[in-house]
């Protein structure tokens, strides 16, 4: 009959129902893209560029321009590392995404730079041990934090650990700058000395974290 819906269809003279698509996931993603989180994400996205700038030197070419550009980018990444946390705290924009991404961004940047500087022989011979200590500690502490998070136990960052991070960043920055200024060997030596100092602090703070973890192990 006229006006009755056809089998498997809609009634004549009526419009088909409009299926509404939820925009909640998109809206939620947009809400997470706060300025601090954007700064943190930019640091992660800048790592491949930093590696690319150092890559010709890894192939054995003299690449002062690349080192200089890499140093400027490295400094910019370090500035964003400071300001993402500062802006988040100042504006009450601390988020779970930011808490999750910030340490990951730091570890990706440090790991990539150490590997590239080892490949370019800016970190060579016994100095590789210092870089290896830093890398292994970062991996071990990350695993320990994940284990303790499952037990709802948090490990506060100590002041000594903050000094370790600062010396680590200074050391890698000096080694990159030393590649841009090979006529200033003192810069490279400062970088290696600071790297060893950071490695020693890495062992001390790593042991402190391990002691906390052992207390919660069966």
* 180-196 residue pLDDT tens: 999 999 999 999 999 99
Mean pLDDT of the chain: 82
For the chain, percent of residues with pLDDT exceeding 70: 82
User: What CA–CA distance (Å, rounded) separates 213 from 62?
Assistant: 46
Domains and CATH numbers, the chain: 34-215 (1.20.120.1760)
Question: What interhelical angle do 159-180 and 96-119 show, nearest 10?
Answer: 40
Of 24-28, 68-72, 141-145, 153-157, the range with the lowest mean pLDDT is 24-28
The DSSP result for 135-198, as a single string, is: HHHHHHHHHHHHHHHHTT---PPPHHHHHHHHHHHHHHHHHHHHHH-TT-HHHHHHHHHHHHHH
* 129-179 residue pLDDT tens: 999 999 998 888 888 877 777 777 777 777 888 899 899 999 999 999 999
């Amino acid at each position: 009959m006229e006006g009755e819906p056809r089998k498997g269809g809609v009634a004549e003279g009526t419009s088909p129902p409009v299926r509404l698509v939820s925009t909640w996931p998109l809206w939620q993603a947009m809400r997470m893209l706060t300025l601090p989180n954007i700064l943190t994400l930019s640091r992660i996205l800048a790592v491949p560029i930093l590696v690319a700038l150092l890559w010709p030197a890894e192939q054995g070419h003299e690449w002062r321009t690349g080192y200089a550009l890499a140093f400027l980018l490295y400094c910019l990444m370090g500035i964003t590392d400071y300001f993402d946390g500062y802006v988040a705290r100042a504006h009450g924009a601390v988020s779970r995404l930011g808490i999750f991404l910030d340490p990951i961004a730091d570890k990706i940047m440090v790991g990539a730079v150490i590997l590239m500087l080892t490949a370019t022989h800016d970190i060579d011979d016994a100095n590789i041990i210092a870089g290896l200590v830093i890398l292994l500690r970062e991996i071990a502490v990350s695993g320990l934090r994940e284990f303790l998070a499952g037990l709802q136990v948090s490990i506060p960052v100590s002041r000594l650990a903050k000094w370790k991070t600062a010396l680590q960043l200074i050391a890698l920055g000096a080694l990159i700058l030393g590649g841009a200024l090979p006529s200033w060997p003192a810069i490279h030596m400062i970088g290696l000395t600071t790297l060893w100092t950071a490695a020693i602090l890495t062992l001390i703070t790593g042991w402190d974290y391990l002691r906390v973890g052992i207390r919660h192990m069966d």
